[in-house]
């Protein structure tokens, strides 16, 4: 990109160190950004999603979020081993209660995808969350300075030590993994809702409302219905605005990502047949 800008405008820029130049370069060269995003996404599927997430079939489509100003993709994937479908079928056969069902699913998601809704700051000796490491308004951490910006690094730039990887994860989650309400997600409800102020909008991503943002903090996992009536897993959470995510995905893709497991109680063999017929 630096060479391209030099050739097309005669300007010398340092994109790694100059965040203003980086912002301008992205705004002025969207054709390069889209091409790069497409190549990067394709390679990510082949090199990470297939081997790390056990994915065998997938479909994805690009979209651009106007208020976020960013290209992103939506995707549907199938795993080779048909999990967690198989696991859920077994839980039904075993007659599991709701909490046992959610516990099995949550354990599977954490073991296989490192999925979590916990902010990686941990807790103190009394078991209270380390809010001194959380960004405002919930916590008191200092803003991340430009020279610690995790988005200009790649995973291979991070030292291979537990501390360095954990620090990188904390920076990334703080930077891109906390949901903030915006015109993109906030909607005026069609019908009056309890507890809302006049004209207060509600988050369609289920992160509360305009003046009371965030989800309920919870000690254990639970399955609940989303606004479309589809069952979804809510894992243990210590931060109200933490996006439920995969640690593997967060640190390898290095942007905000949201994984939902499709919870179906139908027989896994039927799903296999559907894939065969596609």
Token digits of residue 237: 């959470």
Closest alpha carbon to 193 in 203, 179, 182: 203
Tell me: does residue 207 bind Zn ion (CB under 5 A): yes
Helices (DSSP H) in the chain: which residue ranges? 2-9, 19-28, 30-44, 50-53, 85-93, 98-113, 162-176, 247-253, 268-277
Token digits of residue 3: 């060479």
Q: Which residue has the tokens 């479309």?
A: 228
Asked if 179 and 244 touch (Cβ cutoff 8 Å), the reply is: no
Instruction: State the minimum distance, in angstroms, from the CB of residue 227 to Zn ion.
Output: 12
State the binding string over 22-61 for Zn ion (x if CB under 5 A, else -): ----------------------------------------
Token digits of residue 164: 């360095």
Tell me: does residue 205 bind Zn ion (CB under 5 A): yes
Exactly one of 120, 150, 177, 181 binds Zn ion (CB under 5 A); that residue is 181
Instruction: State the minimum distance, in angstroms, from the CB of residue 95 to Zn ion.
Output: 37
Residue with smaller CB distance to Zn ion, 172 or 185: 185
The region of 38-46, 103-111, 198-206, 242-250 touching Zn ion under the rule CB under 5 A is 198-206
Compute the distance between CA of residue 96 and CA of residue 106 in angstroms, rounded to an integer. 14
The region of 30-38, 65-73, 110-118, 181-189 touching Zn ion under the rule CB under 5 A is 181-189
Exactly one of 121, 203, 233, 250 binds Zn ion (CB under 5 A); that residue is 203
DSSP string, 57-70: EEEEEEEEETTTTE
The region of 54-62, 83-91, 207-215, 222-230 touching Zn ion under the rule CB under 5 A is 207-215
Tell me: does residue 184 bind Zn ion (CB under 5 A): no
Contacting positions for Zn ion (CB under 5 A) = 181, 185, 203, 205, 207
């Amino acid at each position: 990109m630096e060479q391209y800008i030099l050739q097309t405008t005669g300007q010398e820029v340092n994109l790694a160190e100059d965040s203003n130049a980086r912002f301008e370069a992205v705004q002025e060269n969207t054709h390069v950004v889209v091409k790069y995003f497409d190549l990067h996404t394709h390679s990510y599927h082949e090199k990470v999603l297939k081997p790390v997430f056990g994915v065998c079939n997938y479909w994805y489509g690009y979209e651009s979020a106007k208020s976020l100003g960013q290209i992103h993709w939506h995707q549907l994937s199938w795993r080779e081993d048909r999990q967690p479908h198989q696991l859920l079928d077994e839980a039904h056969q075993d007659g599991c209660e709701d909490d046992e069902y959610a516990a099995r699913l949550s354990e599977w998601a954490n073991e296989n995808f490192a999925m979590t809704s916990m902010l990686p700051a941990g807790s103190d000796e009394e078991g209270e969350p380390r809010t001194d490491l959380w960004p405002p308004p919930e916590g008191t951490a200092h803003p991340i300075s430009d020279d610690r910006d995790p988005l200009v690094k790649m995973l291979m730039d991070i030292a291979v030590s537990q501390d360095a990887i954990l620090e990188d994860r904390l920076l990334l989650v703080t930077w891109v993994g906390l949901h903030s309400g915006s015109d993109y997600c906030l909607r005026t409800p069609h019908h009056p809702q309890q507890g809302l102020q006049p004209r207060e909008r509600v988050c369609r991503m289920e992160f509360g409302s305009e003046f009371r943002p965030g989800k309920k903090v919870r000690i254990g996992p639970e399955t609940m219905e989303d606004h479309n009536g589809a069952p979804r897993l809510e894992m243990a959470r210590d931060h109200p605005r933490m996006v439920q995510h995969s640690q593997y995905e967060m640190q390898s893709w290095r942007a905000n990502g949201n994984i939902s497991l499709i919870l179906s109680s139908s027989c896994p063999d039927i799903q296999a047949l559907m894939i065969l017929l596609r």
